[in-house]
Chain A
Amino acid sequence: MATVSVRQAKKVFGSTKILHGVDVEIADGEFVVLVGPSGCGKSTLLRMIAGLENISGGEIAIGGRVVNNVPPKDRDIAMVFQNYALYPHMTVRENMAFSMKLAKAPASVMEEEVNRAAKILGLDALLDRYPRQLSGGQRQRVAMGRAIVRHPQVFLFDEPLSNLDAKLRVQMRSEIKELQQRLATTTIYVTHDQIEAMTMADQIVVMNGGRIEQAGAPLALYDRPANLFVAGFIGSPAMNLLPGRIADGGFRTDGGALLPLPPGTSGNAATYGIRPEHLMLADDGVEGTIVIVEPTGSETQVTLRIGETQIIGAFRERVQGRPGDPLRVMPDLSLVHLFGPDGNRLS
């Protein structure tokens, strides 16, 4: 178990800059999720921590030791890959014991460790099977078992759930989180799925274009996104982000809608953000026209048109309405987010 510090880490491939000086501090035992759209550099950062990519600038320390020039096997880490990377010609047992075999561990220790990991992950009955005889979820578990037996200081996960179907993904998500809580091993987890990030992380690091947009606890990011990118990225359905300006005693969107502002607001807000779930049905609200009604059972998503502006609301109530009908909605004024012309949050 260890802390991980990434200080001004840079990565350059030829003339392409992948990471422009990234800083991340990870506490001992923390579960950190690196999240962002594809190509944002999150996997590269993980691979740099693993030692699979050179570090072009800055430094990375694991447990207080700078590891820039330490080969992967001496960093005391374990990694789970997106396609699991199980050795196809070895049984589950051999796969899990491979690292110990290389370290020339005694047979009794190997046996004990493999059995312990198999018990934790429910793989006892599958130890003599080959990876091709396993289902996706089982392969995923073997990949984790291979990481567990090593008692590493840090677990690294590179999009481990993206090859699984939706139902299994939800199940494995909680299994990984539960496992991490039980072992209390520092974990760095890469995903492009913000739901995974929200549900699993102690700390989320949102990346975009080789830079960190914001880092913090999941709900802190949800409640106070630092900029437009984070506001749009975290949360599903995504936050309504409406460009416009403060005028006429409210916020006039470019589409012509007039939305109420929290009392005492002033300044040069250029974007009005309101999450769909923070809109309420209210008789004294802003009137719009229903475009689409999408009931999911637990809630109803309604796309409204106010002037030329489209806005999505998610309501606990069952909305009785058809496209073209009028509907009045009111933003929860304590949960309105305002962003300046540079895209950063106005406090």
Chain B
Amino acid sequence: MTEATNSATAAPEMLSWDSKSRRVVMLYVPLACFLLILLFPFYWMGVTAFKPNAELYDFAQHNPFWITSPTLDHIKHLLFNTSYPSWLWTTMLVSIAATFLSLFASTLAAYSIQRLRFRGSQYVGLAIYLAYLVPPSILFIPLATMVVQLGLFDTPFALILTYPTFLVPFCTWLLIGYFKSIPYELEECALIDGASRLQILRQITLPLAIPGLISAGIFSFTLSWNEFIYALAFIQSSENKTVPVAILTELVTGDVYQWGALMAGSLLGSLPVAIFYSFFVDYYVSSLTGAVKE
């Protein structure tokens, strides 16, 4: 019996990660490769943004992976010689407005599809999902007509009202999944306690769905922030452009790429998203991995 116990405890040790060299080969090396591949573009962006033009265009004299005399010239140029602050402002406005609009609509849609179970609710859910499958590169043509006819062309509203076309289906599906994880008995109990449907949504379901709402919000914000094709098609004047479109159309003059300014623009443009993520990363992870804890 003791022998059996010993061999039983010894066997997992052989298989475990205790051996150091095994750990290095199986865990740290792949992890390092992964990190390197993921982070290198960001490093390149950062390095380029602070490099003087002399170093930037002369790899023979200068190490391409390092900066010898860092400069803020590109950032100054971006902030004071271009409309970058206004692009940033427009992007921020559009992303936040589109996110809130989409979250509001998706919450109501997801709740009614998941909980009210009206006749045909499944088909409505399916239809919303199918709408998500229509690629924006097809959808922007009819949308352009509507935008022009409504007199919204070249205004931030053109984007605030079109981004929900892909955000609402996405958020609705994410929230349907999250609402599903909230025990239905809570709502039945609230129903007996005397709450109306709207009171249940506001006082029971939404407070419990906050992690889900936050991750839907993060997704929406990021997707809106990075969106390209609608912003390119529906906005014409320089000051109304969003960051992704503007740096490509305004910082590439003819066939000259202003790499320093381009990268500085990308760096500043990705900071808000990164900061946004860092605040909510816990909620974000919990909404993807766990459900409501009672």
Do A and B bind? yes
- Determine the main DSSP class of B at the interface with A: helix
Asked whether any CB of chain A lies closer than 8 Å to the CB of B145, the reply is no
Residues of A within 8 A of B292 (CB): 88
Q: Is the CB of B293 within 8 A of A83?
A: no
Considering the complex, give the chain B residue whose CB is closest to the CB of A147: B192
Contact of B192 among A79, A83, A84, A88 (CB under 8 A): A79
Find residues 190-221 in chain B having any chain A CB closer than 8 Å to their own CB: 190-195, 199, 204, 207-208
On whether the beta carbons of A85 and B183 are closer than 8 Å, the reply is: yes
Q: A73-B193, A99-B193, A102-B193 are in contact. Are A81 and B188 (CB under 8 A)?
A: yes
> CB < 8 Å: which of A50, A87, A88, A146 contacts B293?
A88
Cα distance, A240 to B188, chains bound together (Å) = 42
Task: Please name the residue on chain A nearest to B199 by beta carbon.
Answer: A102
Q: Report how many residues on chain A are interfacial, defined by Cβ distance under 8 Å.
A: 26
Query: Across the two chains, which residue of chain A brings its CB closest to B192?
Result: A72
B58 adjacent to chain A (CB < 8 Å): no
With contacts A83-B185, A102-B199, A132-B294 taken as known, whether A89 is within 8 angstroms of B192 at the C-beta atoms is: no
Residue B126 interfacial (CB < 8 Å): no
CB distance from B181 to the nearest CB of A (A): 12
Can you pick out 28 interface pairs between chain A and chain B where the beta carbons lie within 8 Å of each other?
Answer: A52-B188, A52-B191, A71-B191, A72-B192, A73-B195, A77-B192, A79-B192, A81-B185, A81-B188, A82-B185, A83-B294, A85-B186, A85-B188, A86-B294, A87-B186, A87-B190, A88-B186, A88-B208, A88-B293, A89-B207, A89-B208, A98-B190, A98-B193, A99-B193, A99-B194, A102-B199, A146-B193, A150-B193
Assess whether B29 is interfacial by the CB under 8 Å rule. Answer: no
Per-residue contact bits, chain B 232-263, to A (CB 8 Å; 1 contact, 0 not): 00000000000000000000000000000000
Query: In the complex, which of the residues B183, B190, B192, B207 contacts A50, with contact meaning CB atoms closer than 8 Å?
Result: B192
Alpha-carbon gap, A98 to B294, bound state (A)? 17
Interface size class of B (residues with CB under 8 A): 10 to 19
Q: Is A144 an interface residue (CB 8 A)?
A: no
A-B pairs, 9 with minimum CB distance: A99-B193, A85-B185, A73-B194, A85-B189, A102-B194, A72-B192, A81-B185, A89-B207, A88-B294
A131 interface residue per 8 A CB criterion:
yes
Q: A247 at interface (Cβ–Cβ under 8 A)?
A: no
8 Å CB contacts to B: which residues of A167-216? none
Inter-chain CA distance A102–B204, complex, in Å, is 12
Contacts of B294 in A (CB 8 A): 83-84, 86, 88, 131-132
A117 at the interface (CB under 8 A from B): no
Is A103 interfacial (CB 8 A cutoff)?
yes
| Chain A positions within 8 Å of B189 at CB level | 79, 81, 85, 87
A276 to B78, CA, bound (A): 92
What is the CB-to-nearest-CB distance from B239 to chain A, in angstroms, rounded to a whole number? 44
B195: chain A residues within 8 A (beta carbon): 73, 102
List A contacts of B183 (CB < 8 A).
83, 85
CB distance from A157 to the nearest CB of B (A): 13
Give chain A interface residues in 45-84, CB to chain B under 8 Å. 50-52, 71-73, 77-79, 81-84
